Structure 1
Amino acid sequence: MLSKGFEIEIYTGTSQGEIVGFSDQIVKNLDGFVREPDTRNVEYTTPPLYRYERLLCELVRPRTRLRQYLKQLGDYTLIPGSTLALSGSDRFYRSDPENPYHSYIERTYGTTVVTASVHINIGIEEPEALMRACRLVRLEAPLYLALSAASPFLDGQPTGKHSTRWSVFPKTPAHVPLFTSHAHYIAWTEEQLVKGTMQNVRHLWSSVRPNGDRRPYNLNRLELRICDLVSDPIALLAICALLEARVLQILQDPTLDPLLTSKIAADALVELTDRNEAAAAHHSLDAELTHWQTGESITARTWIESLLQEVSPTVKQAGFGCFLQPVKKILREGNEAQRWLKLYEQGLDSQAVIMQAIRETEAQELALAGDICEPQVA
């Protein structure tokens, strides 16, 4: 098994679903949280761990602490979803008015970046192996978006997209190639910094990127950035397990590298993946995608079902097959966006849908915190 961890961006607000910013106070008073450019969401990071059981606790415990703190401030809680679902997309609320990078972000992107998401990091020490894994995962990133989509509303209305977040998020720079080697990634990054298409080494906002302590030179992990915020921690672990399984496969079999096995040229693969990302943002599991190996049309759901069969021997050998099982539940019952839209079509308005999700998410987290994170009494 590989080390893995999460960066969780999450909104705060009222139990009525109104998103209200508290990141200044949270960062000041609670260890382990960092601010985003807009004060309405806040981020925490789990440590890199190998065991999924421990990761589950590290996902839930900070949210429990944060909920307790917010209740001290009033009728405040955590808000599921990845966009400003009910209101507020018309203005930016700066968390750090003196930060010049935040000024650049507000001026350049506005509230299109005021989203909540999950970044999944998988540890890979060897640079060329990391680049191979990044190539594979980038071409399959739309599948993880399809599983995690959770932003069908904006300003109180359905947008027609399952992931409004990824539909509006400003991927930067506009064109990111498939990096053929670590040297290619270094040279490309240095070029972007000179040209100003990236403000700093963190300013690479693509679905997948190499990450490490001194980018682009010292790297130690793959970072998948495409996922919407997955409210259900068990579902998030399942999505992570599918990602880890695919990374394990290409580490064990480098011939899975798209540059070796695809019938499609590298530049065309980038264009194909961009189209797949857009399709997955609109229709998630029902999206019609183009398979990177064959160029044939396939739905996201069918592709994921095929991957589940393909990775089955890998996860059994590694011992985490049980954590992959909830992916089948997502395929059967729908992702968060699809479940919310079904409630909307049945007559609930967007606020009622979000309020129900708030209650269900809090109840699940409290139950998990009691079962997993606290010592069991004999």
Structure 2
Amino acid sequence: MGLLTKGLEIEIYTGTPQGQIIGLSDRIVQDLTGFVREPDSRNVEYTTAPFQSYDRLLCAILRPRRQLRQYLASLGDYTLIPGSCLSLGGGQVFYRSDPQNPYHSYIEQTYGPTVVTASVHINIGIADPEHLLQACRLVRLEAPLYLALSASSPFFDGRVTGAHSSRWQVFPKTPPQVPLFTSHGHFIEWTEQQLQLGTMQNVRHLWASVRPNGDNRPYNLNRLELRICDLVTNPLHLLAIVALLEARLMQLALDPSLDPLQASSLAPDRLLELTDKNETLAAQSSLDATLFHWQDGRPIQARDWIEELYTSVYPLAKAQGFSCFLSPVQTILRQGNMAQQWLQQYQKGISLSVILQQAIFDTEQEEQRLAEDLCLPALVA
């Protein structure tokens, strides 16, 4: 078995080193290739090509970001801002990036600023549509674990929200009810029905924790897209989350009996109730959340479930040569995700603005170090 292809869609805020988020995407998209608008101008998205190699994927994460930083500096005192919510303010308004786009109009009118978040979407290539739908079933039930690892939005509008992922707590999952698709045919039939009912405006308007993806959805599919993760600005931590997902999908390919429709004692409707509850719990408390395992409904702490998953897939990752990229999962479990680290600082009396300013500085320094150490030839090519 060879490595799977994996690509990332990364949304990130732009603003000042003081943490003020400022919309610049219209200028970025006009002047730089490889960046696309989000409906609100305060964040911008770039997409990596799909790679099997983790080394190449690391540089594909870093190269556009370094280019974007240089461009922002040419405009003024601007930078990239970590976190998945409008941490210090601006959460009550919507700044249209493309006033002429009717889909953006629909999003603004329907959802407002609840969708003005930053995140990472992880795409893993799976060519066979039935295997892909099987993978989606498993990953959907385990998606709360990836949210727990990635949570980075404990602040919103200048206050502590009480949640570790304020983004996923408010993000409008659409349509509200999405089944566990039993086959590719089921997915096609369901999607066509949603488009007829108007619960989806187009084939992209499926905003769930995970979805099948492809160039001609729902008919031609070639990848699983995990959409639940908050923005992870540390590239090595992000690759570790990708590696955990890839290793789990490899494990499923080798042992199809891991399919929840076979391996769970719970009925599909109960599985959906359970995973919705787990997503809410993970958004609230991330690694410290007590979740409920899809196999039998037993309570288990997210941290312990991830540790079990890590232990089960590590030999496979090692045999495939990417265990070194998987191992930072242990660092996240030990040190906490970004939300937990920020909250620890806040509990010590550090203000939200100072926490964010330090994170902005640390993020840039980490990127520069990794780029110089690992990707300099690619960055200057």
TM range (shorter): over 0.9
Q: What RMSD, in angstroms, separates the aligned Cα atoms of the two structures?
A: 0.9
SS of residue paired to 1:306: helix
Q: How big is the shift at 1:246?
A: 0.6
> How many angstroms does 1:255 deviate by?
0.6
Q: Offset of 1:143 from its aligned partner? A: 0.1
Say whether 1:52 aligns with 2:54.
yes
Find the partner of 1:19 among 11, 21, 25.
Answer: 21
Of the three residues 332, 347, 350, the one matched with 1:348 is 350
Q: Tell me which of 146, 152, 155 is aligned to 2:154.
A: 152
- Matched residue type, 1:270: L
Task: Give the letter for the 1:278 counterpart.
Answer: T
TM-superposed deviation, 1:168 = 0.2
Whole-angstrom distance in 1 between the partners of 2:141 and 2:233: 25
Q: Distance in 1 between matches of 2:107 and 2:314?
A: 42
Q: Matched residues in 2 for 1:286 and 1:19: separation? A: 29
* Aligned-pair CA distance for 1:101: 0.3
Q: 1:359 aligns with which of 358, 361, 365?
A: 361
Aligned partner of 1:84 among 83, 86, 108: 86
Distance 1:276 1:304 in 2: 14
SS in 1 for 2:46: strand
Q: Partners of 2:71 and 2:4 in 1: how far apart?
A: 33
Taking the aligned partners of 2:36 and 2:142, their CA distance within structure 1 comes to: 30
1:174 to 173, 176, 191: 176
Taking the TM superposition and a 5 Å limit, the aligned residue runs for 1:40-119 are 40-119=42-121
Cα offset for 1:372? 1.7
State the partner residue of 2:340.
338
**1:375 Cα deviation after fit:** 2.7
Cα offset, 1:317, TM superposition? 1.6
Letter in 1 for 2:90: G
**Whole-angstrom distance in 1 between the partners of 2:377 and 2:342:** 35
Residue type of the alignment partner of 1:104:
Y
Q: Which amino acid aligns with 2:288?
A: D
Give the counterpart letter for 2:99 in structure 1: P
Partners of 1:371 and 1:313 in 2: CA distance: 28
Could you tell me which residue of structure 1 aligns to residue 281 of structure 2? Answer: 279
Which residue in the other structure is 1:297 paired with? 299
Runs (4 or more) in structure 1 with deviation over 4 Å come to none
> Which letter does structure 1 place at the counterpart of 2:327?
Q
* Distance in 1 separating the partners of 2:319 and 2:69: 38
Q: Which moved more, 1:310-319 or 1:62-71?
A: 310-319
- Following the alignment from structure 1 to structure 2, what is the Cα–Cα distance between the partners of residues 369 and 136? 35
Task: State the 1:282 CA deviation.
Answer: 0.2
Tell me how far 1:79 sits from its aligned partner: 0.2
Identity %: 67
Q: Give deviations 1:144-203, integer Å, cap 9, x for gaps.
A: 000000000001110000000000000000000000000000000000000000000000
Q: Which of 196, 199, 202 does residue 198 from structure 2 map onto?
A: 196
In the alignment, does 2:328 pair up with 1:326? yes
Q: Distance in 2 between matches of 1:230 and 1:350?
A: 19
Letter in 2 for 1:336: M
**Offset from partner CA, 1:56-98 (integer Å, 9 cap, x none):** 0000111100000001111100000000000001110000001
- TM-score between the two structures when normalised by the length of structure 1: 0.99
Length, aligned pairs only: 377
Specify the SS of the correspondent of 2:14.
strand
Tell me the amino acid that sits aligned with residue 250 of structure 2: L
Corresponding residue number in structure 2 for 1:368: 370
Give how far 1:117 is off: 0.1
